[in-house]
Every structure is written in structure tokens, then in C-alpha cells.
Chain A
């Protein structure tokens, strides 16, 4: 499809900038912001699952850490929410580095279960430590303050619109970083070890270190995404770290096309829009979601984006 990194980023930026022209109401800004947040988290997963070929069924745990960092740090440590985002990312990276080493020695289903266990443990801590985290009912999150800053500078925009642009910007940065990584030596090494870990190690690639890097980077992506969600919702509950959220993230990655950043974004678009589109048939939502997951995996195993791209290529040739 599109080959150069800058072309891809430009297309993304143009899409983000022009989409609001189609928005009939403020609600669409909210959907856009949610899609960007999800796409950010899933971009990280693409690095881990698509390029490095690992599995993570507990990645929402990192999103939960990022989200609760924004809730807890301002409340208990007096930290500004912007710094809390960095704190959350730092903790997620540290935790990923810590558990990544033993976990990434596992493969396949075992790796899946281990990451699953991690995600569930994070959820449990967030749920049970009521005194700190507000328990299952959640806690409120402080205001980021950027909108007030803008208002002081004379720019007044509503919350929904602000978050759309802010999340879009963060997504662009995240996409830029990921695309850079793809072309770099590290990125090529990651893709090599996806093909065969044994072969990669024979040509001198430090496989454990590389897998750990991918794990840590994807954890940071998830953490920042979680932070953004917390800051725009102004409220967070432990199920942001839950099993179903992890599954949602992996599904978005695989559905869209786990090999590319655009695939991640595509997957995020589909799964974020699905419940909104199906509201009339809310009773059938689970049924449809399950069916979509199965059918896409069987008939379009590389994901929707690559399959569509391949079809377009065939038509033009």
C-alpha cells in the first residue's frame, strides 16, 4: 500500500483534520477521540503482536495503570495530571520490564495465560484496594487544565472538541514513533524474530532483549492511552484494566491487520463504532461481535486492511 512513512502520516493527519467537517454534532467528536485512544493502545499491540509475534491477553492492565496514575497521583501526591501521565507510563514500563523477562520465555497459549494472569491481578488490586482507588465504583480524575490554559490565551473550545484534537495529536505522535521503529534496525530485528526466533538468534539478534523492548514499548502505549481515557472521562473504574478490555484490544489489532499501524487504526475504528451502530439491536450486539470475530479470522486471517488492500491491488493490475 502506501510505502513511505511520511506519506502515511500525512494521510492520517489529513483524515484527522478533515473528518470534523462531517460531524453533525458534538457526539461525533467524542467517538473520534475514543477511536484515537483505542488506536493508540492498539498501535502498541501491533508492535508486540504483529511485529514481534508475541501474545498479550492482559494488556489492559497497563492501560489501567496509566488511567489510575492520573487519578491517584493528583489526588494523593498533588502531582499535576500531565506529570501523572508520565508517571503512569514510567510505572508501566518498569512493571513490563520486571515481569517481561520471565513471561516472555513462554510461548503460545502459555504466554497468553501468563499475560492474562497479569491483567487479572492488576484488576484485582485496583478493585480491592478501596481506600486508595475507590474500589469497584471507581474514582474521579482531576482536570488536565489544558483547556483552561487555552481559554486564558483566548481560545475557547468545548471539552468534546478539545479531546478530539488532543487525542488525534497524540495518536499522530504515536504512529510516527511506531513507523520510525518499523524502519529502524530494531524494527527489522523484531520482524526477523517473528519469522523464527531460533533463526534470528543464530544471526546474532539478542532475542530476549528485543522481545522485552517490544513488551515495554507496547506497555507504554497502552498506559498513555489509559491516561487519556481517564482524563477525558474525568472518572475511572477498575474494568478499564479488565479481561474483556484486553480482549477488545487484541481483537482490534488482529481484526484490522496486525502487521501495520494503519491496520491497528482500522481495527480500532470498527470495534469502537460497532456498539454505536448496533444500538437499535443492542440485544444482538454480542452475537454480532462474536460472529464478526470468527468470520474475519477465518476468511480474512491477515486482517481487514491487508485483505482490502490486496483486493484493490488485484483489481488495478
Chain B
């Protein structure tokens, strides 16, 4: 009788301890729906990295359990899944929010419940004003504008035209660019838009081309819009420099737009896109090359900056958990905020109490598309 009780007690204790010997990570991404080509590489990246880390002994000696939900780009669903992650799955940290809309839905909850949350979306409003538990990895759309305007100013451009997508990303970046243009002595003389599913933007581009004094054109947007804009641009024979946004920082864009039409386009990208031509002493070289190789081998798709955002979020989170030495959400958050100089694919992160983005403009590289590939113009 006594042996059975001891045995039962021991087994229970063993089971209890194995139940605790795992770190629960949650994610809500837009793997399907209108933002699928953001969320799809992000989901694949997270799954790949968790598998890799578990195969190499786990985190703090414990297995990482990833609970990944697909919110389809719907903020209502994102909030429901975030509730599920926190209340039902008992996660200690969340990575997710492929779009700004889904991020805002999750962020509120994460902040209320005290769960550290790293967002993968672009809007500056995610980390400005700073919220205790909300961080993000991608550059803000504002920074993209600043990077582009810096380059334009260096080229002596003072008057530009803009053509933006009316989706969340395009509209947000359009608003930010209009706000900061004045700081770089740039006037926006034409301001056109297109719907994310539109097939032909020649009317809008014709209007821009006919506006006097335009020296360059900027196209905030992502998905098929910029590819169509680029093709129309070439079709209309517009010779002015065309700037794209970091929303199309992927090899897929060059393919869709056509190498010929895309030639000469400049956009702010991350080191990930020029992994092959980075000098060996570049701090990011190792991280980007290994991620690129792993991702391309695992999925058969070319690497994109969006997957890179997820990679960095995972790196930041696991680094924080390692430094915290526990899986207490508050401890993880504190360790996260103390991150200093972590090298990711998007840039080098240093968080602080007032800065939950951790990047500055230097992490952005001004790239140009030449001969169907990427080259740096810095």
C-alpha cells in the first residue's frame, strides 16, 4: 500500500514537473486572407525556428511549445485567439499581429494581462506611445519615409508625386510620408491612390506624369499593387526615378514587376535581401545568411523581409527568456526591454524604456534593383 502511494506520488510529481518543463509561446498570424503573403512566411519561419531550437536542446533546457493560430487578417478573430492563447493555452509570451489592425486587437489584451507581445506590423502607432508590454520588430513606416526622403534629398529632389495603396499599410505610410516630407524640404505635388486589387493604374500615373515639376515618384503599398504600378510606369514610359516601399522588399516583387520594368527602382530594404553581397565583416552577415539558407531549404520559397520580422521576434523573445532564466511573463518583459545590440535580420536591436522598436535608420539599407537583383547604394 505504502509503495503504491509513493509510486503514485512520484509519478504525479514527475508528470507535474514535465508539465512545467516547457515554455509556452503563442502566435496569432494572418497566414490566410488578404495579408497571407505577410503571415505565411512568418508562420513558416516561426515553426521552423521552434523546431530547430527544440532539436538543439530547447530553451533553458525546456521544450518550446508553440501554439499558432491563423487570424486571417481579421482583428476580431485576432483578439479572440489572443484571449484563447492567454486564458486557455496559458502562454507566457506572444509573437504576432501580421497587420496593424490585428496587432492593435492583440496589444490591448497583452497589455491588460501582462503578457509580453512582439508585433510584426509596420505602423508607428504600435510603439508610439510606448506601452509596457508591446514591442515590435519591423521598421516603422515613418522610418521608411525618412530613409527614402534622405536619399531623395541627396539626389537633389524637391518635388515628388505619390501613388499609394488604400490598404492599411499603404494608407498608413502615405500619411506618415506627408507628415515628414517637410523636414526634408520635399513637396508632394500629386497624391493618387489605388485599391489593393486594382489591375491598372495608368490613369493615376498619367495624372502624376502630367503634373509640372515632379522629379520622382513614391509608391507606398504592398502585394500586387506596386507590381502593377511598376509595369504601368514602364508602359507609359515615365523616366523619373521610382521609389518603392519596404512592403515589396522581396525577390518575388522583381519577378512580378519584371526585371526590365523594375530596373533602377530604389527602396529601403534590410540586409536580408542582399545577404549574398554583404561584405564578410558586416555584423548581420552571419544571421542573414543562415536564416536565408534555412528558410529557402525548408520551404522552397525565396526569403522575404516579412519572414525576417518573425525570425527577429523569435530571436528577441528567446534571448530575453534565456536572460530572464524563467518563464514568468513580467521577468521576460523586463529582460526584453533590456535587450542591447541583438543582431537580427532586420537590424540590430537595442530596446529601452522609451524605445520599443529598437532600430534606427541605419538598419535600413537603401537598395536599388539592378539586372533583376538587389544592390546597395550606400
A interface residues (Cβ-Cβ under 8 A, vs B): 24-28, 30-31, 34, 127-128, 130, 135-138, 140, 159-160, 229, 233-237, 239-240, 275-276, 279, 282-283, 285-286
Contacts and interface: CB of A to CB of B under 8 A. Distances in A.
- 7 interchain residue pairs of minimum CB distance: A282-B70, A26-B87, A136-B168, A27-B87, A27-B88, A137-B100, A25-B87
Given A135-B171, A282-B31, A235 B80 contact: no
29 contacts: A27-B83, A27-B84, A27-B87, A28-B88, A30-B84, A30-B87, A31-B80, A34-B76, A127-B166, A130-B171, A135-B171, A136-B166, A137-B100, A137-B123, A137-B168, A138-B75, A138-B101, A140-B104, A160-B83, A233-B75, A233-B79, A233-B105, A235-B105, A235-B108, A236-B75, A237-B75, A276-B84, A283-B32, A283-B70
Contacts of B32: 282-283, 285-286
A136 B167 contact: yes
Given A130-B175, A137-B168, A282-B32, A160 B87 contact: yes
A25 B112 CA distance: 17
Interface of B: 31-32, 69-70, 74-77, 79-81, 83-84, 86-88, 99-101, 104-105, 108, 112, 123, 125, 166-168, 171-172, 175
Nearest to B89: A27
Given A24-B88, A282-B70, A30 B123 contact: no
Contacts of B76: 34, 229, 233, 240
A279 B71 CA distance: 10
Most chain-B CB neighbours within 10 Å: which of A34, A160, A229, A235?
A: A235
B83 A30 contact: yes
B41 to A, nearest CB: 15
A136 B171 contact: yes
A289 to B, nearest CB: 11
Nearest to B85: A27
Nearest to A278: B70
A26 B125 CA distance: 29
B197 to A, nearest CB: 12
For A30, A137, A235, A276, which residue has the most chain B Cβ atoms within 10 angstroms? A137
Contacts of B100: 137-138
Contacts of B86: 27
Given A137-B171, A138-B104, A237-B75, 17 more contacts: A25-B87, A127-B166, A135-B175, A136-B166, A136-B167, A137-B99, A137-B100, A138-B75, A160-B83, A160-B87, A233-B75, A239-B75, A275-B77, A279-B69, A279-B70, A283-B31, A283-B32
B97 to A, nearest CB: 12
Contacts of B83: 26-27, 30, 160
B88 A25 contact: yes
A279 B68 CA distance: 9
Given A26-B87, A27-B87, A237-B75, A136 B101 contact: yes
A3 B129 CA distance: 56
B247 to A, nearest CB: 14
Contacts of B87: 25-27, 30, 160
Contacts of A237: 75, 101
A34 B171 contact: no
Nearest to A135: B171
A140 B172 CA distance: 16
Given A26-B87, A127-B166, A276 B80 contact: yes
Given A25-B88, A286-B32, A234 B108 contact: yes
Contacts of A276: 80, 84
A34 B80 contact: yes
